Chain A
Amino acid sequence: MRVLMFGWEFPPHIAGGLGTACYGMTRGLARNGVDVTFVMPHASGDEDQRFVDVVNASDVETVFGKVSNDSADIIEKMSFIHIDSNLVPYLSPEDYESYHDEFVKTGEKRWETSDVWSQRYTFSGKYGANLLEEVARYAIVAAQVAKDLDGQFDVIHAHDWLTYFAGIAAKRVSGKPLVVHMHATEFDRSGENINTQTYAIERAGMHAADRVIAVSNLTRNIIINRYGVPAEKVVAVHNAVRFADKNAPLPERGVKDKIVTFLGRITFQKGPDYFVEAAAKVLKRCPNARFVMAGSGDMMNHVIRRVARLGIADRFHFTGFLRGDDVNKMFQLSDVFVMPSVSEPFGIAPLEAMRENVPVIISKQSGVAEVLDYAIKVDYWDVDAMADAIYGLVNYPALSKMFSEKGLEEVTNLKWNDAASKIKRVYEDAIASVK
């Protein structure tokens, strides 16, 4: 089976959960015997005037060096196509507009976004004046790619709303079935104050698709209830986590205290303020804990002010955004990992923490809660329960030992191979439905 995939550049270039998920998924698909032609936006700025750029799998950098190092299988099964575009994941129309305004005013062409993954952002005159224009431009190029590759793929797979138009265009040109993958919905990102344009694109993509993959049942329900997509079209496939081949030496610990970590974008969606309130409660009863909030985002200053006001700033630390290895180092230094997300379609970070033997506390409002037994689950708003759980994991070694050992076992069994074989079945369904 051959798939034309509209995805996102692999780590370390950009990512967040999305790039990481794309990487694990394509590896899994390759192992399941699926050929992948991977199309991704790649901003070249002014230097490179080529529109579409086909590259070898071995030329694509990944988190662990070149793909070629340990991935003979993936190279045979994959080819990569770069479309020159400045799209990056998690970009909102508002962000795009502010970058564009700056670009017009100052002529500056590069930014680093302020989220924890710190993606680079490139601008030049040839890209769209607003995000929707750029999304449309990307779709036109995608249609051309689909036409050029006519007969070389059986199904189209598009990740996240920014590529949905591209997927739709490719479907119209080729007549092949379309699968769209919902990694997050607009309701997760913005609560009830949704951006209606984004919502409209998500909805159009899912209605035009032959199958929709949701990263959790939580997301599947939102898709069915709030986007009006027929339930039989929507399939939940949970993400998995990839294990690095070689383990870096563990970082040396500087402090004796137990470290409780929050890692992610400091935004409404991630519920950082509940973490702060829980921290204050825990510190009242056990002063030998330290809290770390790693990452940055639009709520960061608000959180810092709250921490200062609660008078816990000598026990509550901020790292700013972390790059590359520092993310893993942060997990390795942690004794408890907390993900208090208000709304989390899946949430790959807890899996990464468990991979490093760290017990995790996750909100019930996260998709990952569906696949984990050895994680403490609390309502994101229930800061008392969260504080209780943190206190327990910090003070009762038996409890934290159990969660860390069983958790590692559990997360080891969440394999991308299994997720990919489910996705392969979705492809087969989609193809059958068109015939």
Chain B
Amino acid sequence: MKTICLYFQVHQPWRLKTYRFFNIGKDHNYLDDLTNRAIMQKIARECYLPMNALLLKLIKENKGAFRVSFSLTGNAVEQFKLYAPEVLDSFRELVKTGCVELLAETYSHSLAALSSKEDFVEQVKAHTAMLKKEFGVKPKAFRNTELIYSDEIGTMVGELGFKTMLAEGAKHVLGWKSPNLVYASAGDQSLRLLLRNYKLSDDIAFRFSNQGWDEYPLTADKYAAWLSESDGEVVNLFMDYETFGEHQKASTGIFDFVKNLPKAVLQRGDLQFATVSETAAAHQPVAVIHCPHVMSWADEERDVTAWLGNDLQNEAFGKLYEMKDKVRSLKSDDFNYVWNFMQTSDHFYYMATKWLSDGDVHSYFNPYGSSYEAFMNYMNVLSDFQIEVEKALEAKKAARKTKKA
């Protein structure tokens, strides 16, 4: 019996408003409320709500045989609560069926794993606390931002008590090995790795509506046949949840495809659905994967140069995490809130200069005209945040002094 593991990533960044030099020191509202609301409500209407309703229907029809996994970033959940509470309700309903597993990740879809262990642990704990509060669940499996993974990150994730982690089935790491088996991490051999089958995942996420593709149109039956024919014991299909209705519009027939998929898969007899943790538990790891260098699921290179690949990104990243001790010592919810959304990887993604072949994805929902604009705006906001943090620290010091006296 081959296991099909469907996992969807749900994330929306808090987009910054146009924040000019003249605002520094005076204006501490950094977010573009209008754009954030408009985008969230548009995606809720076109993707989250119809797709959640469809999945709920399919789960009920198949009586436990159809199972999926999600991870929702803290940023996305914050925006649900503010702009589209019905989306959060529909996710809660999905979780309640028992056929949906929620994964842990970083709270802000951040690159904290690349900064330090301390920053990473803080982000993961914040996210786990959020899952507990909003959904009442304790996650057992972990997925890092953009499937960023290395042996070192595997060690940290293992120490945090997770049993399973997702990663990219990157060719340069796997070599001749198949992504369709369960592996163990070299950083912590008790941590099981599920590797994304990027060919079959991207058939849905990128190629589904491409009329120039020789397999167009893709039907559920054809796709189920490919799943059967593939080698190995598992097929890990990981993709952005916005694929359904947003990247692939409803008019492409993506919802019909999803509607027919469970039946097409289950009637073959040799395939079953399982959540991430169930998939990892159902199969023995066949080998240890060594990954000394950081990889991700992004771009052709499957590395992290989309976020930390040029001087602008490195400077912004460095300047941000320079502040961590100061922000932490404040122990203030207001400052932590800003601290969290400033860490979101999307801000760094907008500063990427490696446009050419991957320009399409990079420019999706990018509010800036150029990477330089993105950088200027981010640094202006960060400068004001620095000033505010310093002010708060001084006020705290002064308060302590008067207390002593």
Contacts and interface: CB of A to CB of B under 8 A. Distances in A.
Interface of A: 251-256, 292, 294, 300-301, 304-305, 307-309, 311, 313-315, 317-320, 326, 329, 333
Contacts of B367: none
A317 B379 contact: yes
A317 B21 contact: yes
Interface string B4-30: 000000000000000011111111000
Nearest to A310: B315
Interface string B354-393: 0000000000000000101101100110110011000000
Nearest to B312: A308
A314 B382 contact: yes
Given A255-B25, A317-B379, 9 more contacts: A254-B27, A255-B387, A256-B25, A308-B314, A313-B319, A314-B379, A314-B382, A317-B383, A326-B22
A329 B379 contact: no
Contacts of B25: 253-256
Nearest to B351: A308
Interface in B309-325: 310-312, 314-316, 318-319
B312 A317 contact: no
Contact of A317 (B24, B310, B373): B24
Contacts of B319: 311, 313-314
Contact of B22 (A305, A308, A313, A329): A329
Q: Label chain A's interface by main secondary structure.
A: mixed
A118 to B, nearest CB: 15
B350 to A, nearest CB: 14
B21 A318 contact: yes
Contacts of A300: 372
Interface in B58-107: none
Contacts of B383: 314-315, 317
B379 to A, nearest CB: 5
20 contacts: A252-B26, A254-B26, A254-B27, A255-B387, A300-B372, A305-B312, A308-B310, A308-B311, A311-B315, A313-B319, A313-B375, A314-B382, A314-B386, A315-B383, A317-B21, A317-B376, A317-B383, A318-B21, A319-B21, A319-B22
Given A255-B24, A292-B21, A308-B312, A313 B372 contact: no
A134 B243 CA distance: 52
Contacts of A315: 383
A294 B20 CA distance: 11
Contacts of A307: 315
A228 B373 CA distance: 45
Q: Label chain B's interface by main secondary structure.
A: helix
Contacts of B27: 254
* 10 interchain residue pairs of minimum CB distance: A254-B25, A308-B315, A255-B25, A254-B26, A308-B311, A317-B21, A309-B311, A318-B376, A308-B312, A319-B21
Contacts of B373: 320
B24 A254 contact: yes
A309 B314 CA distance: 9
Contacts of B23: 254
Contacts of A309: 311, 315
Contacts of A319: 20-22
A326 to B, nearest CB: 7
A274 B314 CA distance: 23
Of B314, B383, B386, most A-chain CB atoms within 10 Å: B383
B140 to A, nearest CB: 40
Contact of B318 (A251, A254, A311): A311
Contacts of A329: 22
Given A304-B372, A304-B375, A320-B376, A313 B21 contact: no
A190 to B, nearest CB: 24
Of A253, A305, A326, most B-chain CB atoms within 10 Å: A305
Contacts of B312: 304-305, 308, 313
B380 A317 contact: yes
A272 to B, nearest CB: 14
B338 to A, nearest CB: 15
B109 to A, nearest CB: 23
Contacts of B386: 314
Nearest to A312: B315
Interface string B195-228: 0000000000000000000000000000000000
A314 B384 CA distance: 9
Contacts of A301: 370, 372
A301 B316 CA distance: 16
Nearest to B376: A318
A320 B23 CA distance: 14
Contacts of B372: 300-301, 304
Contact of A313 (B20, B370, B379): B379
A404 B372 CA distance: 34
Of B311, B319, B387, most A-chain CB atoms within 10 Å: B311
Interface in B261-298: none
Contacts of A304: 312, 372, 375-376
Contacts of A308: 310-312, 314-316, 375
Contacts of B314: 308
A300 B22 CA distance: 19
A314 B382 CA distance: 7
Contacts of B315: 307-309, 311, 313
A304 B316 CA distance: 12
A301 B380 CA distance: 16
A333 B314 CA distance: 30
Contacts of B379: 313-314, 317
Contacts of B318: 311
A395 B27 CA distance: 27
Nearest to B385: A314
A254 B22 CA distance: 7
Nearest to A301: B372
Contacts of B387: 255
Nearest to B314: A308
A22 B177 CA distance: 74
Contacts of A311: 315, 318-319
B137 to A, nearest CB: 39
A309 B382 CA distance: 17
B348 to A, nearest CB: 12
A371 B327 CA distance: 51
Contacts of B370: 301
A311 B317 CA distance: 11
A326 B319 CA distance: 28
A226 B26 CA distance: 51
A320 B373 CA distance: 9
A300 B376 CA distance: 11
A255 B386 CA distance: 11
Contacts of A253: 25
A255 B387 CA distance: 8
B347 to A, nearest CB: 13
Contacts of A318: 21, 376
Contacts of B376: 304, 317-318, 320
A222 B309 CA distance: 45
Nearest to B323: A314
A309 B122 CA distance: 29
